[in-house]
Amino acid sequence: MRDIQFGAGRLAGRAVLAISGPDAGHFLHNLLTADVEHLADGEARYAALLSPQGKILFDMLVLRRGEGFLIDCAAGQRDALLKRLGLYKLRAQVEITPRDDLAVGVSPSKITGGFPDPRTPTVGWRMIGEAPGDEAHGYYASRIAAGLADSEADLGSGEFFPHEANLDQLGGVSFKKGCYVGQEVVSRMEHRGTARSRILPVTLAGGTPPKGTDLRAGDKQVGTLLSGEGDQALALIRLDRLAEAAAPLEAGGVAVTVLKPQWVRYDVPGAA
């Protein structure tokens, strides 16, 4: 893996929701894939809200702030997430509030009032605060190099299972907590070992073809490119087909090398 470098600053593509009230912890815990009810003040966790069929509708970082929570989510998905959470509210004593006064920031090193990114130390620290600041330079490329899928650029809504997006590798799924929306499908995939496709970083020799370009080994499709920048990208890769590949990998006529991030605990055949 290459060195990852970016400057501290704001992430314009992120937005914040506040979850408060006596039932806030229990409410989120019963909906999301991760154990958020037992977070300590100032601690964060990666999590997702799934469809009943077990696919990711929204992924997010959840930060415990005092007795409540702050949700760091994709700006373009915030209103839809707010509406979806409202559907589950029922009689729970919970307030769900958009916080336009707060911004999400990142830093490659420890930042006052921040918290380490709970997914992997390779993308430094994160914070939710009032000062917007300048846009974080180089973070987009660093995220791709780290192998982290973006909510909008990669995942969309209702397209990927948590295992495909590596939530099981990044602390985004608890296999010990009780039921949550889509839990049965996720548990079955975990215990049967049926996660054949994974999002992984790749490098390309000669620029990045458009998102959606097939990743091929000869006449066999091995995967599909997702977001990219420069000579690096993310790709959804079928690991079984990667293991069987009898020809060099390419996408749109460009040679491809699959990389294995530090946090990956599964086998990636032929990865650099």
Residue 150: inside a domain, yes or no?
no
Structure tokens at 85: 């959470």
The average confidence (pLDDT) of the chain is 95
Give the number of domains in the chain: 2
Within-domain flag for 175:
no
Which pLDDT value is given to residue 206? 85
Cα separation, 51 vs 61, in Å, equals: 18
Task: Clarify whether residues 127 and 45 are in a common domain.
Answer: yes
Q: In one letter, which amino acid is 225?
A: L
Q: Is 117 exposed, middle or buried (0-12, 13-18, 19+ CB in 10 A)?
A: buried
User: 131 and 201: one domain?
Assistant: no
Look-up: residue for tokens 């977001």?
227
Range of the domain at 207: 196-258
Query: For residue 189, which of 197, 178, 177, 199 has the smallest C-alpha distance?
Result: 197
Q: What percentage of residues in the chain have a pLDDT greater than 70?
A: 98
Average pLDDT over residues 186-205: 94
Q: Do residue 232 and residue 131 come from a single domain?
A: no
Handedness of CA 254, 257, 262, 263 (dihedral sign): positive
On whether residue 187 sits in a domain, the answer given is no
Global pTM?
Answer: 0.95
Same domain, 130 and 217: no
pLDDT at 132 over 80: no
| Residue 224 pLDDT greater than 60, yes or no | yes
Q: Do the Cβ atoms of 213 and 224 come closer than 8 Å?
A: yes
At 131, is the pLDDT very low, low, confident or very high (cuts 50, 70, 90)? Answer: low
User: Does residue 227 surpass a pLDDT of 60?
Assistant: yes
Q: Which residues sit opposite 55 in a β-bridge?
A: none
Are 233 and 132 in the same domain?
no
What CATH number is given to the structural domain containing 251? 2.40.30
Instruction: Write down the pLDDT at residue 8.
Output: 93
Give domain status of residue 184, yes or no: no
Q: Which residue has the higher pLDDT, 2 or 145?
A: 145
Domain endpoint, select from 116, 138, 160: 138
Amino acid identity, residue 80?
Answer: A
* Same structural domain, 133 and 238: no
Among the residue ranges 16-20, 43-47, 228-232, the one predicted with the least confidence is: 228-232
- 13 and 128, same domain (yes or no): yes
Residue 228, Ramachandran bin (φ over 0: left; ψ between -120 and 50: alpha; else beta): beta
- Quick check: helix, strand or coil at residue 82? helix
Give the CATH number, domain containing residue 92. Answer: 3.30.70.1400
Are 133 and 215 in a shared domain? no
Query: Would you say residue 90 lies in a domain?
Result: yes
- Per DSSP, the three-state class of 48 is strand
Report residue 80 as tokens. 């839809």
What pLDDT, on a 0 to 100 scale, did the predictor assign at position 2? Answer: 56
| CA pair distance 197, 241, nearest whole angstrom | 9
Are the C-beta atoms of 27 and 93 separated by less than 8 Å?
A: no
* 82-98 pLDDT tens trace: 999 999 998 899 999 99
Q: How far apart are CA 250 and CA 269, in angstroms?
A: 16
For residue 106, pLDDT over 80 is answered with yes
- 126 and 200 within one domain: no
Q: Please, which pLDDT band fits residue 100 given cuts at 50, 70 and 90? A: very high
Domain-ending residue, one of 138, 155, 184: 138
Q: Parallel, antiparallel, or unpaired: how do β-strands 95-98 and 214-217 relate?
A: unpaired
Statement: residue 226 has pLDDT above 90: yes
- Is 102 found in the same domain as 18? yes
pLDDT higher than threshold 60 for residue 1: no
Q: How many helices (H) and strands (E) does the chain have?
A: 5, 15
Q: Does residue 158 lie in a domain region?
A: no
Q: In this predicted structure, what is the pLDDT of residue 178?
A: 83
User: What percentage of the chain exceeds 90 in pLDDT?
Assistant: 92
Residue 61 lies in a domain: yes
- Asked if pLDDT for residue 31 goes beyond 90, the answer is yes
